[in-house]
Structure 1
Amino acid sequence: MNAFLEQYGSQLLLKTWEQIYISAIALILGVLVAVPAGIILTRFPKTAKLVIGLTSMLQTIPSLALLAMMIPFFGIGKLPAILALFVYSLLPILRNTYIGLDNVDPVLKDSAKGMGMEPVQSIFQVELPLAMPVIMTGIRLSAIYVIAWATLASYIGAGGLGDLIFSGLSLFQPELIIGGTIPVILLSLVSDYLLGLLEKHITPKQKREV
Protein backbone atom coordinates (compact mmCIF):
# COMPACT_ATOMS: atom_id res chain seq x y z
CA MET A 1 0.00 0.00 0.00
CA ASN A 2 2.75 2.45 1.00
CA ALA A 3 4.72 1.59 -2.12
CA PHE A 4 1.64 2.22 -4.28
CA LEU A 5 1.00 5.61 -2.67
CA GLU A 6 4.63 6.62 -3.02
CA GLN A 7 4.59 5.78 -6.71
CA TYR A 8 1.08 6.84 -7.67
CA GLY A 9 -0.06 9.10 -4.81
CA SER A 10 0.12 12.42 -6.69
CA GLN A 11 -1.48 10.86 -9.77
CA LEU A 12 -4.24 9.36 -7.64
CA LEU A 13 -5.04 12.78 -6.13
CA LEU A 14 -5.12 14.41 -9.57
CA LYS A 15 -7.33 11.71 -11.09
CA THR A 16 -9.69 11.79 -8.09
CA TRP A 17 -10.03 15.56 -8.45
CA GLU A 18 -10.76 15.17 -12.19
CA GLN A 19 -13.43 12.57 -11.39
CA ILE A 20 -15.06 14.90 -8.84
CA TYR A 21 -14.82 17.90 -11.18
CA ILE A 22 -16.40 16.16 -14.17
CA SER A 23 -19.12 14.48 -12.10
CA ALA A 24 -20.03 17.57 -10.06
CA ILE A 25 -20.45 19.85 -13.08
CA ALA A 26 -22.55 17.27 -14.93
CA LEU A 27 -24.76 16.70 -11.87
CA ILE A 28 -25.21 20.42 -11.18
CA LEU A 29 -26.21 21.01 -14.80
CA GLY A 30 -28.62 18.09 -14.53
CA VAL A 31 -30.26 19.57 -11.43
CA LEU A 32 -30.46 23.07 -12.97
CA VAL A 33 -32.22 21.71 -16.06
CA ALA A 34 -34.24 18.73 -14.80
CA VAL A 35 -35.81 20.21 -11.66
CA PRO A 36 -37.33 23.28 -13.40
CA ALA A 37 -38.33 21.07 -16.34
CA GLY A 38 -40.04 18.63 -13.95
CA ILE A 39 -41.91 21.50 -12.30
CA ILE A 40 -43.13 22.78 -15.68
CA LEU A 41 -44.16 19.31 -16.83
CA THR A 42 -46.55 18.90 -13.88
CA ARG A 43 -48.62 21.63 -15.54
CA PHE A 44 -48.65 19.73 -18.87
CA PRO A 45 -49.28 16.02 -18.11
CA LYS A 46 -49.59 14.95 -21.76
CA THR A 47 -46.32 16.62 -22.69
CA ALA A 48 -44.72 15.11 -19.58
CA LYS A 49 -45.20 11.57 -20.87
CA LEU A 50 -43.51 12.47 -24.16
CA VAL A 51 -40.57 14.29 -22.56
CA ILE A 52 -39.93 11.63 -19.91
CA GLY A 53 -40.20 8.94 -22.58
CA LEU A 54 -37.64 10.76 -24.74
CA THR A 55 -35.30 11.18 -21.77
CA SER A 56 -35.68 7.48 -20.96
CA MET A 57 -34.77 6.63 -24.54
CA LEU A 58 -31.60 8.75 -24.33
CA GLN A 59 -30.54 6.88 -21.21
CA THR A 60 -30.77 3.55 -23.03
CA ILE A 61 -27.87 4.61 -25.28
CA PRO A 62 -24.73 2.82 -24.02
CA SER A 63 -22.57 5.30 -22.13
CA LEU A 64 -19.47 4.58 -24.19
CA ALA A 65 -21.45 5.04 -27.41
CA LEU A 66 -22.81 8.38 -26.18
CA LEU A 67 -19.30 9.53 -25.28
CA ALA A 68 -18.10 8.55 -28.77
CA MET A 69 -21.02 10.43 -30.37
CA MET A 70 -19.89 13.63 -28.66
CA ILE A 71 -16.42 13.55 -30.26
CA PRO A 72 -17.38 14.75 -33.79
CA PHE A 73 -19.18 17.77 -32.30
CA PHE A 74 -17.05 18.69 -29.27
CA GLY A 75 -13.74 16.90 -29.79
CA ILE A 76 -12.07 15.05 -26.95
CA GLY A 77 -11.49 16.10 -23.36
CA LYS A 78 -13.66 17.14 -20.44
CA LEU A 79 -16.38 19.06 -22.33
CA PRO A 80 -17.86 16.10 -24.27
CA ALA A 81 -17.60 13.94 -21.15
CA ILE A 82 -19.49 16.50 -19.05
CA LEU A 83 -22.20 16.87 -21.71
CA ALA A 84 -22.65 13.10 -22.02
CA LEU A 85 -22.85 12.66 -18.24
CA PHE A 86 -25.28 15.59 -18.07
CA VAL A 87 -27.61 13.74 -20.46
CA TYR A 88 -27.39 10.62 -18.28
CA SER A 89 -28.14 12.60 -15.12
CA LEU A 90 -31.43 14.00 -16.43
CA LEU A 91 -33.85 11.07 -16.23
CA PRO A 92 -33.81 10.22 -12.48
CA ILE A 93 -34.00 13.90 -11.49
CA LEU A 94 -36.66 14.81 -14.06
CA ARG A 95 -38.82 11.77 -13.33
CA ASN A 96 -38.60 12.12 -9.55
CA THR A 97 -39.32 15.84 -9.67
CA TYR A 98 -42.41 15.20 -11.75
CA ILE A 99 -43.59 12.29 -9.58
CA GLY A 100 -42.86 14.11 -6.32
CA LEU A 101 -44.81 17.21 -7.29
CA ASP A 102 -47.61 15.26 -8.96
CA ASN A 103 -48.15 13.23 -5.78
CA VAL A 104 -48.52 16.22 -3.47
CA ASP A 105 -51.93 16.00 -1.76
CA PRO A 106 -54.46 18.02 -3.86
CA VAL A 107 -56.08 19.18 -0.61
CA LEU A 108 -52.86 20.98 0.31
CA LYS A 109 -52.71 22.58 -3.14
CA ASP A 110 -56.30 23.75 -2.77
CA SER A 111 -55.53 25.08 0.69
CA ALA A 112 -52.62 27.10 -0.68
CA LYS A 113 -54.87 28.46 -3.40
CA GLY A 114 -57.53 29.27 -0.83
CA MET A 115 -54.97 31.23 1.19
CA GLY A 116 -54.45 33.46 -1.84
CA MET A 117 -51.15 32.02 -3.01
CA GLU A 118 -50.19 32.47 -6.62
CA PRO A 119 -49.22 29.28 -8.53
CA VAL A 120 -45.52 30.14 -8.23
CA GLN A 121 -45.85 30.71 -4.49
CA SER A 122 -47.67 27.41 -4.12
CA ILE A 123 -44.88 25.61 -5.95
CA PHE A 124 -42.03 27.05 -3.89
CA GLN A 125 -43.72 27.29 -0.49
CA VAL A 126 -45.90 24.17 -0.48
CA GLU A 127 -45.31 21.68 -3.29
CA LEU A 128 -41.51 21.69 -3.61
CA PRO A 129 -40.83 21.31 0.14
CA LEU A 130 -43.26 18.36 0.33
CA ALA A 131 -41.83 16.74 -2.80
CA MET A 132 -38.21 17.28 -1.74
CA PRO A 133 -37.54 13.74 -0.42
CA VAL A 134 -38.59 12.24 -3.76
CA ILE A 135 -36.60 14.83 -5.73
CA MET A 136 -33.50 14.26 -3.60
CA THR A 137 -33.78 10.51 -4.18
CA GLY A 138 -33.50 11.20 -7.91
CA ILE A 139 -30.53 13.51 -7.39
CA ARG A 140 -28.75 10.96 -5.19
CA LEU A 141 -29.34 8.24 -7.77
CA SER A 142 -28.03 10.48 -10.55
CA ALA A 143 -24.94 11.31 -8.50
CA ILE A 144 -24.05 7.63 -8.17
CA TYR A 145 -24.68 7.03 -11.88
CA VAL A 146 -22.59 10.01 -12.96
CA ILE A 147 -19.63 9.15 -10.71
CA ALA A 148 -19.62 5.57 -12.00
CA TRP A 149 -20.01 6.53 -15.67
CA ALA A 150 -17.36 9.26 -15.39
CA THR A 151 -14.84 6.41 -15.21
CA LEU A 152 -15.43 5.76 -18.92
CA ALA A 153 -14.63 9.39 -19.73
CA SER A 154 -10.94 8.51 -19.80
CA TYR A 155 -11.58 6.85 -23.17
CA ILE A 156 -12.08 10.30 -24.73
CA GLY A 157 -9.23 12.02 -22.89
CA ALA A 158 -11.26 13.53 -20.05
CA GLY A 159 -9.06 12.07 -17.33
CA GLY A 160 -10.44 10.80 -14.05
CA LEU A 161 -9.93 7.56 -12.19
CA GLY A 162 -10.67 5.59 -15.33
CA ASP A 163 -7.12 6.40 -16.46
CA LEU A 164 -5.76 4.31 -13.60
CA ILE A 165 -8.26 1.49 -14.07
CA PHE A 166 -7.78 1.11 -17.81
CA SER A 167 -4.01 1.50 -17.52
CA GLY A 168 -4.08 -1.33 -15.01
CA LEU A 169 -6.14 -3.46 -17.36
CA SER A 170 -3.87 -2.86 -20.35
CA LEU A 171 -0.65 -3.31 -18.36
CA PHE A 172 -1.96 -6.21 -16.24
CA GLN A 173 -1.29 -4.31 -12.99
CA PRO A 174 -3.97 -5.20 -10.42
CA GLU A 175 -2.76 -2.49 -8.02
CA LEU A 176 -3.71 0.20 -10.56
CA ILE A 177 -7.14 -1.35 -11.10
CA ILE A 178 -7.80 -1.51 -7.36
CA GLY A 179 -6.27 1.93 -6.80
CA GLY A 180 -8.69 3.43 -9.30
CA THR A 181 -11.76 1.40 -8.37
CA ILE A 182 -11.75 1.95 -4.60
CA PRO A 183 -11.84 5.79 -4.87
CA VAL A 184 -14.79 5.55 -7.29
CA ILE A 185 -16.70 3.46 -4.75
CA LEU A 186 -15.75 5.82 -1.92
CA LEU A 187 -16.80 8.88 -3.94
CA SER A 188 -20.20 7.30 -4.60
CA LEU A 189 -20.71 6.50 -0.92
CA VAL A 190 -19.56 9.92 0.27
CA SER A 191 -21.69 11.80 -2.27
CA ASP A 192 -24.76 9.76 -1.32
CA TYR A 193 -24.12 10.44 2.38
CA LEU A 194 -23.63 14.18 1.87
CA LEU A 195 -26.71 14.48 -0.32
CA GLY A 196 -28.62 12.56 2.36
CA LEU A 197 -27.56 15.17 4.92
CA LEU A 198 -28.66 17.91 2.53
CA GLU A 199 -32.01 16.18 2.09
CA LYS A 200 -32.57 16.15 5.88
CA HIS A 201 -31.62 19.81 6.08
CA ILE A 202 -34.00 21.04 3.36
CA THR A 203 -36.93 18.67 4.04
CA PRO A 204 -39.64 20.15 6.26
CA LYS A 205 -39.56 18.68 9.79
CA GLN A 206 -43.18 17.60 9.61
CA LYS A 207 -42.47 15.66 6.41
CA ARG A 208 -39.48 13.84 8.00
CA GLU A 209 -41.60 12.76 10.97
CA VAL A 210 -44.29 11.18 8.77
Structure 2
Amino acid sequence: MNFWEYLRSRQELLVFETWQHASMVFQCVVAALVLGVAVGLLVYRSPRLSGFATSTAGAVFTIPSLALLGLLITPLGLGVAPSVVALTLYSLLPIVRNTIVGLNGVDRTLVDAARGIGMGRGRILLRVELPLAWPVILTGARVATQLAMGIGAIAAYVSGPGLGEQIFSGLGRLGGANSINMTLAGTLGVIVLALLFDGCFLVIGRLTTPRGIRA
Protein backbone atom coordinates (compact mmCIF):
# COMPACT_ATOMS: atom_id res chain seq x y z
CA MET A 1 0.00 0.00 0.00
CA ASN A 2 1.08 3.60 -0.55
CA PHE A 3 1.85 6.04 2.25
CA TRP A 4 -1.61 7.65 2.41
CA GLU A 5 -3.31 4.27 2.54
CA TYR A 6 -0.97 3.29 5.37
CA LEU A 7 -1.89 6.44 7.31
CA ARG A 8 -5.60 5.76 6.89
CA SER A 9 -5.29 2.11 7.90
CA ARG A 10 -3.24 2.94 11.02
CA GLN A 11 -4.97 6.19 11.90
CA GLU A 12 -6.00 5.31 15.46
CA LEU A 13 -2.59 3.85 16.33
CA LEU A 14 -0.73 6.84 14.87
CA VAL A 15 -2.93 9.34 16.72
CA PHE A 16 -2.37 7.45 19.97
CA GLU A 17 1.41 7.28 19.50
CA THR A 18 1.51 10.96 18.55
CA TRP A 19 -0.36 11.84 21.74
CA GLN A 20 2.01 9.66 23.78
CA HIS A 21 5.03 11.37 22.23
CA ALA A 22 3.71 14.88 22.79
CA SER A 23 2.67 14.09 26.36
CA MET A 24 6.05 12.56 27.23
CA VAL A 25 8.01 15.49 25.80
CA PHE A 26 5.75 18.06 27.49
CA GLN A 27 6.03 16.44 30.92
CA CYS A 28 9.79 15.99 30.66
CA VAL A 29 10.40 19.58 29.59
CA VAL A 30 8.17 20.91 32.39
CA ALA A 31 10.09 18.79 34.90
CA ALA A 32 13.42 19.96 33.46
CA LEU A 33 12.21 23.58 33.50
CA VAL A 34 11.33 23.38 37.20
CA LEU A 35 14.62 21.66 38.08
CA GLY A 36 16.77 23.76 35.75
CA VAL A 37 15.41 27.12 36.89
CA ALA A 38 15.72 26.05 40.52
CA VAL A 39 19.36 25.10 39.99
CA GLY A 40 20.02 28.33 38.11
CA LEU A 41 18.50 30.40 40.92
CA LEU A 42 20.70 28.66 43.46
CA VAL A 43 24.00 29.08 41.64
CA TYR A 44 23.85 32.14 39.36
CA ARG A 45 25.46 34.49 41.88
CA SER A 46 28.55 32.27 42.19
CA PRO A 47 30.76 31.83 39.09
CA ARG A 48 32.25 28.67 40.56
CA LEU A 49 28.88 27.05 41.30
CA SER A 50 27.49 28.23 37.97
CA GLY A 51 30.38 26.63 36.14
CA PHE A 52 29.96 23.40 38.09
CA ALA A 53 26.22 23.22 37.39
CA THR A 54 26.68 23.91 33.68
CA SER A 55 29.55 21.45 33.38
CA THR A 56 27.60 18.71 35.15
CA ALA A 57 24.56 19.17 32.91
CA GLY A 58 26.91 19.30 29.91
CA ALA A 59 28.61 16.06 30.93
CA VAL A 60 25.24 14.29 31.03
CA PHE A 61 24.41 15.77 27.63
CA THR A 62 27.53 14.24 26.06
CA ILE A 63 26.46 10.69 26.92
CA PRO A 64 25.09 9.03 23.75
CA SER A 65 21.33 8.65 24.06
CA LEU A 66 21.33 4.91 23.34
CA ALA A 67 24.02 4.37 25.96
CA LEU A 68 22.15 6.36 28.63
CA LEU A 69 18.87 4.60 27.89
CA GLY A 70 20.65 1.25 28.06
CA LEU A 71 22.24 2.13 31.40
CA LEU A 72 18.86 3.12 32.83
CA ILE A 73 17.32 -0.27 32.02
CA THR A 74 18.97 -1.95 35.02
CA PRO A 75 17.61 0.36 37.76
CA LEU A 76 14.35 1.38 36.05
CA GLY A 77 13.43 -1.44 33.69
CA LEU A 78 11.82 -0.92 30.29
CA GLY A 79 9.09 1.47 29.24
CA VAL A 80 8.15 4.93 30.46
CA ALA A 81 10.49 5.35 33.45
CA PRO A 82 13.89 5.25 31.66
CA SER A 83 12.48 7.30 28.79
CA VAL A 84 11.25 10.08 31.07
CA VAL A 85 14.46 10.18 33.13
CA ALA A 86 16.64 10.33 30.02
CA LEU A 87 14.62 13.07 28.33
CA THR A 88 14.53 15.15 31.51
CA LEU A 89 18.30 14.87 31.96
CA TYR A 90 19.00 15.82 28.34
CA SER A 91 16.66 18.82 28.63
CA LEU A 92 18.48 20.28 31.64
CA LEU A 93 21.57 21.75 29.94
CA PRO A 94 19.95 24.50 27.81
CA ILE A 95 17.57 25.44 30.64
CA VAL A 96 20.24 25.61 33.38
CA ARG A 97 22.64 27.50 31.11
CA ASN A 98 20.06 29.98 29.89
CA THR A 99 18.73 30.58 33.40
CA ILE A 100 22.22 31.49 34.60
CA VAL A 101 22.96 33.61 31.54
CA GLY A 102 19.60 35.36 31.72
CA LEU A 103 19.86 36.21 35.41
CA ASN A 104 23.45 37.39 35.10
CA GLY A 105 22.50 39.50 32.11
CA VAL A 106 20.02 41.63 34.06
CA ASP A 107 21.19 45.26 34.21
CA ARG A 108 22.70 45.77 37.67
CA THR A 109 21.54 49.38 37.73
CA LEU A 110 17.94 48.13 37.73
CA VAL A 111 18.71 45.81 40.62
CA ASP A 112 20.37 48.64 42.52
CA ALA A 113 17.40 50.90 41.85
CA ALA A 114 15.00 48.25 43.16
CA ARG A 115 17.16 47.84 46.25
CA GLY A 116 17.21 51.60 46.68
CA ILE A 117 13.42 51.80 46.92
CA GLY A 118 13.40 49.21 49.67
CA MET A 119 12.86 45.92 47.86
CA GLY A 120 14.31 42.85 49.55
CA ARG A 121 16.32 40.19 47.77
CA GLY A 122 13.31 37.92 47.24
CA ARG A 123 11.14 40.68 45.77
CA ILE A 124 13.96 41.84 43.51
CA LEU A 125 14.34 38.31 42.19
CA LEU A 126 10.61 37.83 41.57
CA ARG A 127 9.73 41.34 40.39
CA VAL A 128 12.86 42.41 38.53
CA GLU A 129 15.40 39.69 37.72
CA LEU A 130 13.15 36.79 36.74
CA PRO A 131 10.84 38.83 34.47
CA LEU A 132 13.85 40.33 32.68
CA ALA A 133 15.59 36.96 32.38
CA TRP A 134 12.42 35.13 31.31
CA PRO A 135 12.87 35.51 27.51
CA VAL A 136 16.32 33.90 27.75
CA ILE A 137 15.02 31.13 30.03
CA LEU A 138 12.13 30.48 27.63
CA THR A 139 14.58 30.19 24.75
CA GLY A 140 16.41 27.49 26.73
CA ALA A 141 13.13 25.63 27.25
CA ARG A 142 12.40 25.96 23.53
CA VAL A 143 15.76 24.41 22.61
CA ALA A 144 15.26 21.69 25.23
CA THR A 145 11.88 20.81 23.73
CA GLN A 146 13.33 20.34 20.26
CA LEU A 147 16.09 18.14 21.69
CA ALA A 148 13.61 16.09 23.70
CA MET A 149 11.38 15.68 20.66
CA GLY A 150 14.14 13.98 18.69
CA ILE A 151 15.61 11.97 21.54
CA GLY A 152 12.10 10.87 22.50
CA ALA A 153 11.94 8.89 19.28
CA ILE A 154 15.03 6.93 20.35
CA ALA A 155 13.25 5.98 23.59
CA ALA A 156 11.57 3.20 21.61
CA TYR A 157 14.89 1.39 22.11
CA VAL A 158 13.77 0.75 25.71
CA SER A 159 10.10 0.24 24.79
CA GLY A 160 9.33 3.86 25.51
CA PRO A 161 6.07 5.44 24.33
CA GLY A 162 5.65 7.56 21.24
CA LEU A 163 6.38 7.70 17.54
CA GLY A 164 9.78 6.06 17.91
CA GLU A 165 8.00 2.71 17.73
CA GLN A 166 7.05 3.45 14.13
CA ILE A 167 10.60 4.47 13.23
CA PHE A 168 12.34 1.53 14.93
CA SER A 169 9.83 -1.00 13.59
CA GLY A 170 10.22 0.36 10.09
CA LEU A 171 14.02 0.33 10.24
CA GLY A 172 13.94 -3.20 11.65
CA ARG A 173 11.90 -4.38 8.67
CA LEU A 174 13.75 -2.61 5.86
CA GLY A 175 12.83 -4.27 2.62
CA GLY A 176 9.62 -5.66 4.06
CA ALA A 177 6.04 -4.54 3.58
CA ASN A 178 5.31 -1.04 4.85
CA SER A 179 8.80 -0.58 6.31
CA ILE A 180 9.30 2.75 4.53
CA ASN A 181 5.75 3.84 5.37
CA MET A 182 6.30 3.15 9.07
CA THR A 183 9.61 4.99 9.19
CA LEU A 184 8.24 7.93 7.22
CA ALA A 185 5.08 8.17 9.35
CA GLY A 186 7.08 8.25 12.58
CA THR A 187 9.63 10.75 11.24
CA LEU A 188 7.06 13.14 9.81
CA GLY A 189 5.03 12.88 13.01
CA VAL A 190 8.03 13.99 15.08
CA ILE A 191 8.70 16.89 12.70
CA VAL A 192 5.10 18.09 12.81
CA LEU A 193 5.05 17.89 16.61
CA ALA A 194 8.32 19.82 16.82
CA LEU A 195 6.87 22.60 14.65
CA LEU A 196 3.66 22.73 16.69
CA PHE A 197 5.54 22.90 19.99
CA ASP A 198 7.81 25.63 18.61
CA GLY A 199 4.77 27.63 17.57
CA CYS A 200 3.34 27.24 21.06
CA PHE A 201 6.55 28.63 22.55
CA LEU A 202 6.30 31.68 20.30
CA VAL A 203 2.77 32.31 21.56
CA ILE A 204 3.79 31.72 25.20
CA GLY A 205 6.68 34.13 24.75
CA ARG A 206 4.37 36.83 23.43
CA LEU A 207 1.89 36.32 26.27
CA THR A 208 4.36 36.07 29.16
CA THR A 209 7.15 38.47 28.21
CA PRO A 210 6.73 41.98 29.64
CA ARG A 211 5.80 44.38 26.84
CA GLY A 212 8.68 46.72 27.56
CA ILE A 213 11.36 44.10 26.83
CA ARG A 214 9.85 42.36 23.79
CA ALA A 215 12.09 42.30 20.77
Structure 2 gap segments, 5+ residues each: none
Distance 1:157 1:166 in 2: 10
- Select the residue among 22, 25, 42 that pairs with 1:23: 25
Match of 1:137 in 2: 139
Q: C-alpha separation between the residues in 2 aligned to 1:186 and 1:195?
A: 14
Provide the C-alpha distance between the structure 1 equivalents of 2:196 and 2:140, rounded to a whole number of angstroms: 16
For 1:90 and 1:4, the matched residues in 2 are separated by 37
Q: Secondary structure at 1:160's aligned position in 2?
A: coil
Who is 1:104 aligned against? 106
Gaps of 5+ in 1: none
Most deviating of 66-75 and 16-25: 16-25
Moved over 2 A (4+): none
C-alpha separation between the residues in 2 aligned to 1:38 and 1:101?
8
The equivalent position to 1:171 in structure 2, one of 166, 170, 173, is 173
Aligned mate of 1:189, from 184, 190, 195? 195
TM-score (norm 2): 0.94
Report the 3-state secondary structure (helix = DSSP H, G, I; strand = E; otherwise coil) of the residue aligned with 1:158.
coil
Give the letter aligned to residue 207 of structure 1: I
TM value normalised by structure 1: 0.96
Give the superposition deviation at 1:24. 1.3
Deviation for aligned residue 1:6: 2.7
Task: State percent identity of aligned pairs.
Answer: 35
- Give the partner amino acid of 1:202: T
Structure 2 equivalent of residue 39 of structure 1: 41
Structure 1 CA distance for aligned equivalents of residues 4 and 142 of structure 2: 33
Q: How does 1:1-210 map to 2 (within 5 A)?
A: 1-172=3-174, 173-209=179-215
Aligned length: 209
- Following superposition, the deviation at residue 86 of structure 1 comes to 0.4
